C-alpha cells in the first residue's frame, strides 16, 4: 500500500469512526453523513442520481432498506462493520474499482472486481450432484500460492475474494492467516456450515474482514436428503453462533425444478432472517460434469417464477428484510455475464484459471503463470471480445442460454477441459443446454421486452427529476 493510499484510507477510517461512534444516537443523520463521506471520495465513479437515491433512502427511517441497515448496525459487531466499510467500501468499492477500470484500459483485457478461488478440493460432506464431491481430497492451492494470488490481485485493484471448494473451512487456520495478513481485503466464504464453531466465530469477530454464505437447500428433509443426515441442524446451529457473535452472513441456495418454490417461500426466507441472515445468493442449477442430470433444470415457467419472485422479495413491497441476489437472473444489473474476468473469474484447487465456477475450461494455470498472464489467456480474450453474448440480459450465459458461444470460444481459444472428475468435451456440455436455451428464449424475450418498457419509463422519470 503506497503512502498516499494509506493516508487516504486512514483519513476515511478516522472520519468513519467519528460518525460511527455516535451512530445509535441518531442513525438517520449519521448514515447520511457516511453516505456523503463516500460521495466525497468516489462521487465521479457513480452518477449523481445514485447518491441522491441513496440519501433519499437513508433519510426515510420507515423504508425497508433503511430498516435493514439499522438492523444490521444493531446486530453486527462493531469491528465487523468497521472492517467491511473499510475493505468492501473504501478498498474494493471506492478506490479499488477505479484502479481496476484503469488497468482494463492499460492492459487491454478484462480485470475482475472479485476473484473466486478454491483453496482445497477436500470436503467433509459428499452432497448429491456436487461436482466438487467427486474431485477427491488431494488438490489444493498452497498458502504461498494463495498469498501470491492475493498480492498480485491487489496490485491490479482487486480487494474482494470469494472462497469456495470443496469445503474451504477444512483449511480454516490458513484462511484466517490470509485474512489477517491481507487485512485490507474482504473475504466471503461459501461453506456448508458444519465446521463453524465458537472459536472460529471469535477469530472472525477479531479480524472483521470475513463474511459467510451458508449452503442450504430447504428444510431439514429436503436439505439432508442431498447433504446428509443432521446437516440442516448443524447449519442452524452455525447461524445461531454467528448471530450471537455479530458476524455478517447469509445463505447460498441452489434452486432446481424440485425445490424452487420452497426456498423462495415467505416462511423459509423469514426463518433465515430470524436466524440472522442478511443476504441470500440464489444460483440456477447448472448441468456441469459428464454425468450431470438435466432433470433438475427449470422449465421456462419455473424460471419466470424465479425471476419475478426474487425481485419481489428484494423490493420495498415485500416485508421480508433480506437482500436477495440471483446469479443468473440479475445479469441486467451488472451488464450481462460477468465471467471471463469481466467482473469475476474462478481458480480451481488444481490452479486452473477458469472463466466461471460453472464453466470448466482454461488455457492456463496460476501455479505456472502470473495473474495478469492468466487474464490475458486466449479463452479470456474470447470473452473480452465477444461480450455481451446476447442483448437480452435474461439470456446472459454462454453455456446455458447461448451454447453456441461457449463452443465457439473454447474451440477458437484451444482451451482444454479442466473438469477434475472427467474431461467434458464442449459438444457434450452443450448437448445438455441447447434444448433448455431453445425453450427459454421465447419466454425470456417476452419478459425482456416488458422489462425494457419499464426501464424506459423509469429513465424518463429520472431525467425529469435529475436531468441525467
Tens-digit pLDDT profile for residues 96-115: 999 999 999 999 999 999 99
Question: Does one domain contain both 71 and 97?
Answer: no
CA triplet 23, 46, 341: central angle to 5 degrees?
110
What does the alpha-carbon distance between residue 275 and residue 239 come to, in Å, rounded to a whole number? 6
CATH number at residue 270: 3.20.20.70
Report pLDDT for 19: 78
Question: Does one domain contain both 60 and 209?
Answer: no
Question: Does one domain contain both 190 and 67?
Answer: no
Question: Does one domain contain both 211 and 349?
Answer: yes
Question: Does one domain contain both 59 and 156?
Answer: no
Using DSSP's 3-state secondary structure scheme, residue 83 falls into helix
Residue 87 lies in a domain: no
Question: Does one domain contain both 67 and 102?
Answer: no
Q: For all residues of the chain together, what is the average pLDDT?
A: 91
Among the ranges given (7-11, 258-262, 377-381, 383-387), the one the predictor scored with the smallest mean pLDDT: 7-11
Q: 406-424, pLDDT tens digit by residue?
A: 999 999 999 999 998 889 9
What does the alpha-carbon distance between residue 432 and residue 286 come to, in Å, rounded to a whole number? 10
The pairing of strands 114-117 and 160-163 is parallel
* Cβ atoms of residues 335 and 375 within 8 Å: no
What does the alpha-carbon distance between residue 164 and residue 118 come to, in Å, rounded to a whole number? 5
Summarize the confidence of residues 369-388 as an average pLDDT. 98
- Return the bridge partners of 345, or none: 115
Residue 85 lies in a domain: no
Question: Does one domain contain both 66 and 106?
Answer: no
Using DSSP's 3-state secondary structure scheme, residue 282 falls into strand
Report pLDDT for 137: 62
How many domains does the chain fold into?
2
Helix (H) or strand (E) segment spanning residue 179: helix 172-181
Residue 166 lies in a domain: yes
Residue 403 lies in a domain: yes
Residue 84 lies in a domain: no
Among the ranges given (54-68, 76-90, 171-185, 332-346), the one the predictor scored with the smallest mean pLDDT: 54-68
Question: Does one domain contain both 300 and 191?
Answer: yes
Summarize the confidence of residues 13-42 as an average pLDDT. 77
Among the ranges given (7-21, 116-130, 322-336), the one the predictor scored with the smallest mean pLDDT: 116-130
Structural domain of residue 147, as residue ranges?
A: 92-467
Q: 28-47, pLDDT tens digit by residue?
A: 777 777 777 777 766 566 66
Residue 437 lies in a domain: yes
With bands split at pLDDT 50, 70 and 90, how would you rate the model's confidence at 58?
A: confident
Report pLDDT for 228: 76
What does the alpha-carbon distance between residue 10 and residue 12 come to, in Å, rounded to a whole number? 5
pLDDT at 135 over 60: no
Q: How many residues does the chain have?
A: 468
Report pLDDT for 424: 94
With bands split at pLDDT 50, 70 and 90, how would you rate the model's confidence at 468?
A: low
What does the alpha-carbon distance between residue 255 and residue 261 come to, in Å, rounded to a whole number? 9
Amino acid at each position: 500500500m503506497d503512502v498516499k493510499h494509506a493516508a487516504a484510507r486512514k483519513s476515511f477510517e478516522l472520519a468513519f469512526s467519528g460518525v460511527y461512534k455516535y451512530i445509535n444516537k441518531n442513525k438517520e443523520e449519521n448514515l447520511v453523513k457516511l453516505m456523503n463521506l463516500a460521495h466525497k471520495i468516489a462521487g465521479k465513479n457513480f452518477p449523481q442520481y445514485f447518491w441522491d437515491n441513496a440519501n433519499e433512502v437513508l433519510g426515510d427511517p420507515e423504508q425497508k432498506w433503511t430498516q435493514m441497515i439499522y438492523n444490521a448496525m444493531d446486530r453486527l459487531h462493531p469491528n465487523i462493520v468497521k472492517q467491511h466499510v473499510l475493505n468492501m467500501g473504501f478498498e474494493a468499492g471506492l478506490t479499488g474499482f477505479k484502479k481496476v477500470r484503469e488497468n482494463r484500459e492499460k492492459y487491454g483485457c478484462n480485470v475482475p472486481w472479485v476473484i473466486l478461488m478454491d483453496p482445497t478440493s477436500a470436503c467433509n460432506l459428499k452432497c448429491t450432484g456436487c461436482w466438487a464431491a467427486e474431485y477427491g481430497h488431494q488438490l489444493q492451492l498452497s498458502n504461498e500460492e494463495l498469498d501470491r494470488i492475493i498480492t498480485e490481485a491487489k496490485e491490479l485493484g482487486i480487494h474482494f475474494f470469494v472462497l469456495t471448494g470443496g469445503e474451504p473451512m477444512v483449511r480454516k487456520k490458513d484462511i484466517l492467516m490470509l485474512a489477517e495478513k491481507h487485512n485490507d481485503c474482504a473475504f466471503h466464504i461459501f461453506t456448508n456450515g458444519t465446521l463453524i464453531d465458537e472459536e472460529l466465530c471469535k477469530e472472525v469477530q477479531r479480524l472483521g474482514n470475513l463474511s459467510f454464505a451458508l449452503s442450504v437447500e430447504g428444510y431439514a428433509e429436503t436439505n439432508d436428503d442431498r447433504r446428509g443426515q443432521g446437516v440442516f441442524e448443524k447449519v442452524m446451529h452455525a447461524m445461531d453462533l454467528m448471530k450471537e457473535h455479530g458476524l455478517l452472513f447469509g445463505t447460498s441456495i441452489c434452486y432446481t425444478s424440485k425445490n424452487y418454490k420452497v426456498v423462495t417461500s415467505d416462511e423459509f426466507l423469514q426463518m433465515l432472517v430470524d436466524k440472522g441472515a442478511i443476504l441470500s445468493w440464489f444460483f440456477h442449477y447448472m448441468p456441469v460434469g459428464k454425468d450431470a442430470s438435466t432433470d433438475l433444470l427449470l422449465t421456462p415457467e419455473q424460471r419466470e417464477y424465479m425471476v419475478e419472485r426474487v425481485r419481489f422479495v428484494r423490493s420495498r413491497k415485500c416485508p421480508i428484510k433480506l437482500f436477495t441476489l440471483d446469479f443468473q437472473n440479475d445479469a441486467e444489473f451488472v451488464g450481462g455475464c460477468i465471467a471471463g474476468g469481466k467482473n469475476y473469474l474462478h481458480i480451481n484447487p488444481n490452479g486452473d484459471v477458469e472463466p466461471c465456477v460453472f464453466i470448466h475450461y482454461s488455457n492456463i494455470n496460476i501455479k505456472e503463470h502470473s495473474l495478469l498472464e492468466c487474464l490475458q489467456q486466449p479463452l479470456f480474450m474470447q470473452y473480452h471480445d465477444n461480450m455481451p453474448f446476447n442483448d437480452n440480459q435474461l439470456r446472459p450465459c454462454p453455456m446455458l442460454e447461448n451454447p453456441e458461444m461457449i463452443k465457439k470460444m473454447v474451440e477458437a481459444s484451444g482451451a482444454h477441459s479442466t473438469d477434475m472428475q472427467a474431461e467434458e468435451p464442449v459438444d457434450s456440455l452443450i448437448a445438455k443446454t441447447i434444448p433448455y436455451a431453445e425453450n427459454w428464449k421465447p419466454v425470456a424475450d417476452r419478459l425482456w421486452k416488458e422489462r425494457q418498457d419499464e426501464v424506459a419509463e423509469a429513465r424518463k422519470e429520472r431525467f425529469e427529476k435529475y436531468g441525467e
